[in-house]
Amino acid sequence: MDSTVKTRVIKRNGEEVSFDLEKIVNAITKANQEVAPIHRMNEFQIIAIAEKIASQAEQTMHAVNVEDIQDMVETGIMEMRGYEVAQKYVRYRYKRELTRKSNTTDNGILSLIDHLNEEVKQENSNKNPVINSTQRDYMAGEVSKDLSRRVLLPEEVVRAHEAGIIHFHDMDYYAQKEHNCDLINLEDMLQNGTVISETMIEKPHSFFTACNVTTQIVAQVASNQYGGQSFTLSHLAPFVDVSRQKLRRSVIEERTEAGEPLNEDVIRKVTEHRLKEEIKNGIQTIQYQLITLMTCNGQAPFVTVFMYLDEVPEGQTRDDLAMIIEEVMKQRMQGVKNEKGVWITPAFPKLIYVLDEDNITEDSKYWYLTELAAKCTAKRMVPDYISAKIMRELKQGDVYPCMGCRSFLTVEDSQRNADGSHQFYGRFNQGVVTINLVDVACSSEGDMERFWSILDERLELCHRALRCRHERLLGTVSDVAPILWQNGALARLEKGEKIDRLLYNGYSTISLGYAGLYEMCVRMTGKSHTDPEAKPFALAVMQRLNDKCREWKEAEHISYSVYGTPMESTTYRFAKCLQRRFGIIPGVTDKNYITNSYHVHVSEEIDAFHKLKFEAEFQKLSPGGAVSYVEVPNMQSNIPAVLTVMKYIYENIMYAELNTKSDYCECCGYDGEIKIIEDETGKLIWECPNCGNRDQNLLSVARRTCGYIGTQFWNQGRTQEIRDRVLHL
């Protein structure tokens, strides 16, 4: 009897363990001892049941839930005609279920404190689940989820979420009235002053001070919401000249006191030299403070820095912005030192560089910045790229950043700046609910008429769930987060004023997410959505999502938008739910993950240019946010190839990134790609190919997870997805 098969079992607390045959034998034996001797099974019958279950579990080719195992036990006992034993087993199981239901939150909290919960402990690849501040956030999250399931959310939404039919994102923050992500109005806060922790912060008198204040604003914002945030370097650019004039006065004073001639050329050169040093120190402050700050949710701020030259007027201010951008990329290329003193790739801040006419060709003024961006991407995986050309086509002529990794605001004619331009900074997203398109396809069993009917039903369910998110925020008073609602990050409301008017008419968005377009097509058509026969169906589904959002928006004056969901732990959860509901369907439910949004499947052979061109059509139909990527090898010695891809992005797709590897083994100093292998139990783990080190504490691994870089490792589903990725270049 072999009790060491590779099958994995998911326990009720989320822990994933190896299948143990002895536990099956022991459970049946205990039930067997509870009945009269005349009705007992013999030892060989018990072992036969256990071995049959082991065989069934192994044939599933995926981790099975403990409830599934128990169902198999019941069936196995009945097949052996052990009816009295089966009755005892069912009663025991029922009593245990009642005990568990009396307090499910305790078990969830205790399992994450003991670092056992596979889903919770790795739900965010930038949170270290061991440290106290992260655990405190997770503990609060378990309480919030419990309250949300039992009290705050409708039963139909909870049931659909638990079954993996939809995903109600960030339920661990739902009990509190917090929103998702936003674009900080840094310009207003720096130019007009703000208040941080009841302390007045006036307009900075230097670039360095402006950088310092920015980091404090970012930290405060991050602690009052649960999603990402973005700010633009253009809002810092005016302070370069503030410092320039201040430094110039200082140079003149020094030379006057020293009796030196006031040579204009010398004054200018000394001033610019000191100015560049201040810019360097200011950017270093931003980089190191944002990496080392710890917000109340146990991680560094999830922040994106936007670099767009044409966001400021041509001339001195644009040249100053170029200096800032140059310094940001130089410092990011260098990386940061870890505790061992090794230069590694940090996860944040995420960088976005806008490609436009003045930096996209070799003879353009700022081409040197584009070359620097290419080198930075090849080494550190950022910046990512927005094509101003394509974005203007899709966004009514506007170019602006996403909120965090991919969530984009909609262009709203009702939201204008004082000069009449569309407003983006200061706006935010209320939250996300994602539809599992693979489940729709599997539920319809391949029947097209049923598919569209089920899709419409599920979309209305998502609509009701999104209304829950919206209504949870209604009535929130500005006092709950002064930095957001009173002191300029998102608004300048009065104390005691409700935020309700910011939830309507386009000031904020709310997102209908979607996942698994590829697997949906395989189930319904037998083909990938890259196939010309399946592509029209995929586009039609995307159009239906957009039509529904438009319908809801017109009826309610709430800005619903379609959002290409970045799934981290959700990809694993959806996959497990699908396997449980529908079994293993080749090409559809046979992985521990499902495909993010509209992406080409990670294992599908396709070159970088065809992938970007293909996905551009679907990106257009995700106005609430989406990002495409190409998987590339180490490109540090082939910068011209990186620039070729960047130029292709400029001409063809709005928002894209290049995925490479940036790893380090602390045991042997290996700085190549750390590999994913299966251990003796069948679990996917990371291993240094040079020395065999498997200790995650001694491995530095950075991978693009879903629009942003992750550095704290991933659950089994995402790890399998990373392993399956093929190169596109």
Residue 125 scores a pLDDT above 60:
no
Look at 115-124, 459-468, 658-667 and tell me which has the smallest mean pLDDT.
115-124
Q: Are 454 and 443 in contact (CB under 8 A)?
A: yes
At residue 179, the pLDDT reads 97
Where helices occur in 152-194 by DSSP H, the ranges are 155-163, 186-192
Least confident interval from 58-62, 220-224, 241-245: 58-62
Reported confidence tier of residue 269, pLDDT bands at 50, 70, 90: very high
Cα separation, 375 vs 378, whole angstroms: 5
Q: Is the dihedral of CA 360, 214, 660, 124 positive or negative?
A: negative
Please, what sign has the CA dihedral across residues 251, 256, 257, 260? positive
pLDDT in tens, 73-100: 999 999 998 989 998 888 888 777 666 5
Q: For position 33, what pLDDT does the model report?
A: 92
- How far apart CA 357 and CA 360 sit, in angstroms, is 6
Provide the phi-psi class of 676: left if phi over 0, else alpha when psi is between -120 and 50, else beta.
beta
Domain limits, the chain: 8-102, 182-394
Average pLDDT over the chain, rounded to an integer: 91
Cβ proximity of 688 and 674 under 8 Å: yes
pLDDT digits (tens, 9 = 90+) for 475-506: 999 999 999 999 999 999 999 999 999 999 99
What local confidence, expressed as pLDDT, does residue 111 receive? 59
Q: What is the pLDDT of residue 567?
A: 81
Element (H, E) at 448: helix 448-473
Q: How many other β-carbons are positioned within 10 Å of the β-carbon of residue 3?
A: 14
**In the structure, what pLDDT confidence band is assigned to residue 7 with cuts at 50, 70 and 90?**
confident
Residue 487 burial by Cβ neighbours in a 10 Å radius (0-12, 13-18, 19+): buried
> Which residue matches tokens 């190549």?
672
Q: Radius of gyration (Cα) for the chain, nearest Å?
A: 28
For 504, which DSSP code? S
pLDDT score of 280 more than 90: yes
What confidence category does residue 2 fall into, taking pLDDT thresholds of 50, 70 and 90?
A: very low
CA dist., res. 311 & res. 114, Å (int): 49
- Quick check: 483 and 493 in contact, CB under 8 A? no
d(CA 52, CA 72): 9
CB proximity list for 13: less than 8 A, separation 6 or greater: 107, 108, 110, 111, 116, 117
Residue 347 has a pLDDT of: 80
pLDDT interval class at 338 (50, 70, 90): confident
Pick the more confident residue, 98 or 522. Answer: 522
Residue 219 has pLDDT above 80, yes or no: yes
Q: Give the confidence band of 4 by pLDDT, cuts at 50, 70, 90.
A: very low
Q: What is the mean pLDDT of residues 640-659?
A: 97
pLDDT above 90 (res 687): yes
Q: What is the pLDDT of residue 64?
A: 82
CA distance 272 to 282: 15
Q: Is 515 helix (H, G, I), strand (E, B) or coil?
A: strand
d(C-alpha 698, C-alpha 625), whole Å = 36
CA atoms within 13 A on the CB side of 274: 16
Report residue 425's pLDDT band, with 50, 70 and 90 as the boundaries.
very high
CB atoms within 10 A of CB 70: 18
Helix axis angle for 517-525 and 535-556, nearest 10°, is 120
- pTM as predicted: 0.86
Q: What's the pLDDT tens digit per position in 153-204? A: 999 999 999 999 999 999 999 998 999 999 999 999 999 999 998 999 999 9
Q: Which of 501, 620, 504 is nearest to 553 (CA)?
A: 504
Question: What pLDDT is stored for residue 1 in this prediction?
Answer: 40
Q: Over the stretch 693-712, which tens digit does the pLDDT of each residue have?
A: 999 888 888 887 766 677 66
pLDDT higher than threshold 80 for residue 245:
yes
- The band of 205, judged by pLDDT with boundaries at 50, 70 and 90, is very high
Categorize the per-residue pLDDT at 336 as very low, low, confident or very high, splitting at 50, 70 and 90.
confident
13-57 confidence digits (pLDDT tens) = 566 788 889 999 999 999 999 999 999 999 999 999 999 999 888
**E-state strands within 191-315:** 194-196, 199-201, 229-232, 303-307
Cβ-count burial of 85 within 10 angstroms (0-12 exposed, 13-18 middle, 19+ buried)?
buried
pLDDT (0 to 100) of residue 651: 98
What's residue 3's pLDDT? 41
CATH class of 182-394: alpha beta
pLDDT of residue 121: 46
**Which is more confident, 335 or 645?**
645
Compute CA distances 417 → 81, 424, 425, 493, whole Å: 77, 9, 9, 17
Instruction: Answer whether 626's CB lies under 8 Å from 406's CB.
Output: yes
- ω into residue 566 within 30 of 0, thus cis? no
The pLDDT of residue 296 is 57
Cα dist from 594 to 220, 520, 575, 647, 706, whole Å: 35, 10, 6, 30, 13
Report the pLDDT value the prediction gives residue 706, as an integer from 0 to 100. 66
531-547 pLDDT, tens digit per residue, is 999 999 999 999 999 99
pLDDT digits (tens, 9 = 90+) for 558-585: 999 999 998 877 888 999 999 989 989 9
